[in-house]
Amino acid sequence: MLESLITKTESNYAGFIHKVKEQDSTSYIKLKAQVRKEAIPISFDNCFSILDRYVSFFKDGHLFVFESPASPTPKQSDSIALQLLRYATPTQFEKAINPQKNVDAIVGTWQNTDYKMAVIKKDATHFEAVVLNSKIEKWKPGMVKMEIEKNEEGNYNIALYRNDFAKIHFNNVHIYKNVVLPFGNYRFIKTSPENAELNYVNANNPQLPILKPIDKDNVLLTIPSALINGAYLDSLLQRYEKEINTAQNLIIDIRGNLGGNFIWGKLYDIANTVIVPPKIDPKEDYFFMLASEDNATYFANFSTYYKQQKDTAGIQYYDSLATAIKRNIGSILKFSYYNPFPDTATRVVQAFPKKIAIIMDKGVGSAAEAFVLWMKENSSRVVFYGDNTYGMIDYQNINMVPFGCKENTTYYFGYPTLFSKDIKTNPLNPTGIKPDIYIPQKTADAIKWVLKDLAKKNNLALNNKKD
């Protein structure tokens, strides 16, 4: 498995060229030797940590190993359930932990749509998430849902038992906004001990955005994840259109949004201040790629969509691209997406909101970082608050492929197919995008902090007008 992963990485990931071949490769060679030695006694079922350790060398959130084992049979699930550690759960766990001080941030009650759990401490670096109640029939109170280890970086390595009791792993998971724990397709909200940030999340469905007017001048929109249907966000913006179109300030909180789908179109319309979009040279390419067999297959599949649309130009575009990739394996090629209808229409600039405050942190990555960059380029009304973003955008557009032996249906390799054309002159990985205004660390309520700053700026502007 490890040797196949190394081969897949070195042949598909352009970052291997940038970070190893064009740099001092000593540390990479040393790492390969270490993980090869450590992998020898490890079984197939327990090799995730070694595989993850290898890809983590590149410090790119778009390069990863994804664990997705086949569902156990009903008999196997029942057997695993019987083996799980069980606790007698206190009926009022919140009261039991609230008086505690200086406990780890992971300790407390957490919930999502299906579960409410108590994370309890085993020792200084190990914790367990115990089910308090569940909507999933076979998951009973007292069963251990997650095994958690705090790593050297201060983040968490999590082993989670799926609803079907298959065990999957996620490493280097971080708590954002004091109350949000996102990893993979999972997202949990910390409901106890209480925290001010709990007022700005949907504890019943942590993936969903929230929009609420704070007062006549301020509207708050939180978008915790882009792993949602964009139509849901659009409907929310439509429902509160009147409030947004009369507000002085729209505050958009995207902290902890690690990316996902393109859901931003209606927000672009609200924020845009560019009447005529810049002209695009159809001959100019906006990305580069490393030509590989996996990339040839990946982009050849794009033509399937255009076959359904009966777009012969689109079919030819991606068929020709796949052919060019196969002819140039190992080379760097230029790339742009097929776009028969470039954006040339005159845009509408709305009168309100007058100011848009976007709050971000190290949990903002990928598609959410693309949103930040678009806002920087297309709206003069935006002020960015918080902290640097993740820095997960120089390499983008993930392809997922199996690796190892044919029998492997558990582990998959995810890698970015494209990279930015200015990756060497203006890289964003891993530093991220800087905010205009940093919010002080350990601020209890970032929303209130931003509201106060906006009010101060508004008062200053009014005083300047009077003068």
266: number of Cβ within 10 Å: 17
Tokens representing residue 148 in the block: 């958690």
Secondary-structure breakdown of the chain: helix, strand, coil percentages, each rounded to the nearest 5: 30, 25, 45
Q: What is the pLDDT of residue 369?
A: 97
Q: Give mean pLDDT in consecutive 10-residue pieces for the chain, a chain of 467 residues.
A: 95 97 96 94 86 95 94 89 81 60 87 94 93 93 95 96 95 95 95 91 93 95 96 96 95 96 95 81 79 96 91 93 96 89 77 96 96 95 97 96 87 96 92 97 94 86 57
SS3 145: strand
343: number of Cβ within 10 Å: 9
Determine the CATH number of domain 207-277+345-393+436-466. Answer: 3.90.226
Q: What is the pLDDT of residue 97?
A: 60
Q: What is the pLDDT of residue 457?
A: 81
Q: What is the CA radius of gyration of the chain?
A: 24
Q: Cα–Cα–Cα angle for 202, 449, 220, nearest 5°? A: 40
Q: What is the pLDDT of residue 96?
A: 60
Q: What is the pLDDT of residue 99?
A: 56
Quote the pTM value: 0.91
User: Domain 74-195 falls in which CATH fold?
Assistant: Lipocalin (2.40.128)
Based on the number of CB atoms within 10 Å of its own CB, is 146 exposed (0-12), middle (13-18) or buried (19 or more)?
buried
Determine if residue 219 is left, alpha or beta; phi over 0 gives left, psi from -120 to 50 gives alpha, anything else beta: beta
